[in-house]
Amino acid sequence: MTSRNYGSSSAAVPKKLVVLVSGSGSNLQALLDACREPEYGAAVVAVGADRDGTLGLERAAAAGVPTFVRKVRDYSDREQWDADLTETVASFEPDLVVSAGFLKLCGPRFLSAFPGRYINTHNSLLPAFPGMNGPGEALAAGVKLAGATLFICDSGVDTGPIIAQTAVPVEDDDTVDTLTERIKEAERGQLVTAVGRMVRDGWAVDGRRVRLG
């Protein structure tokens, strides 16, 4: 596959992030906090969700960031939802779209609107344990290292090219909750670091391999 380069060197203007959330939004909060520093090089220009009433949307509102909600059930089919979500996100002209606990798979229209620029953070060391229950499956499998993966979304479930990974130990007395929290702490740090590098230094995708800077 041909190598493609993303990002530009104009560091003076903060790069625009649109963040998609479904839940508590702690990853979103980490990005909002990082974006307060001008040196970080990015601004969250909008937060989108697939449901109302989440802490993630509250965090965005508290930070003064515009929000929008696009629920699948409000559309005649998934294609219409995908088209409207695409149009809405595109209206903010994002440099990077970040799925941070967004519990929906975006469709072909969305993926082709933001090629190489739609990224997702997942709470397992992919390709192990894709899907909704990464920490639980890691615990059940008895692995000694768990973690989080940041990747570029493709049409599969947690299958895209990997940008960054971070590992945490699995302790003997872990429950799904304790392991999930340990992963999330590492995940937030990784997200902030990797997104910062992407917006400041750009990135290149060569087949399955992603290079920052």
Give the binding site for ligand GRF (CB under 6 A).
21, 23-28, 56, 100-101, 121-123, 184, 187
Residue nearest to ligand GRF (CB): 101
Closest CA to 86 of 185, 60, 94, 11: 94
Instruction: State the minimum distance, in angstroms, from the CB of residue 123 to ligand GRF.
Output: 4
For helices 176-201 and 26-35, give the axis angle rounded to 10 degrees.
Answer: 30
Distance CA 107, CA 129 (A): 22
% helix, strand, coil for the chain, step of 5: 35, 25, 35
Instruction: State the minimum distance, in angstroms, from the CB of residue 27 to ligand GRF.
Output: 3
Q: Whose Cβ is closer to ligand GRF: residue 23's or residue 161's?
A: 23
Q: Which of 15, 70, 117, 122 is catalytic?
A: 122
What is the CA angle 52-57-60, rounded to 5? 160
Instruction: State the minimum distance, in angstroms, from the CB of residue 149 to ligand GRF.
Output: 9
Distance CA 146, CA 207 (A): 25
Q: Whose Cβ is closer to ligand GRF: residue 7's or residue 190's?
A: 190
Instruction: State the minimum distance, in angstroms, from the CB of residue 186 to ligand GRF.
Output: 10
169 is catalytic: no
Q: Whose Cβ is closer to ligand GRF: residue 7's or residue 118's?
A: 118
Token reading at 39: 């040196």
Token reading at 128: 């192990």
CB atoms within 10 A of CB 175: 12
Q: Whose Cβ is closer to ligand GRF: residue 15's or residue 188's?
A: 188
The catalytic residue positions are 122
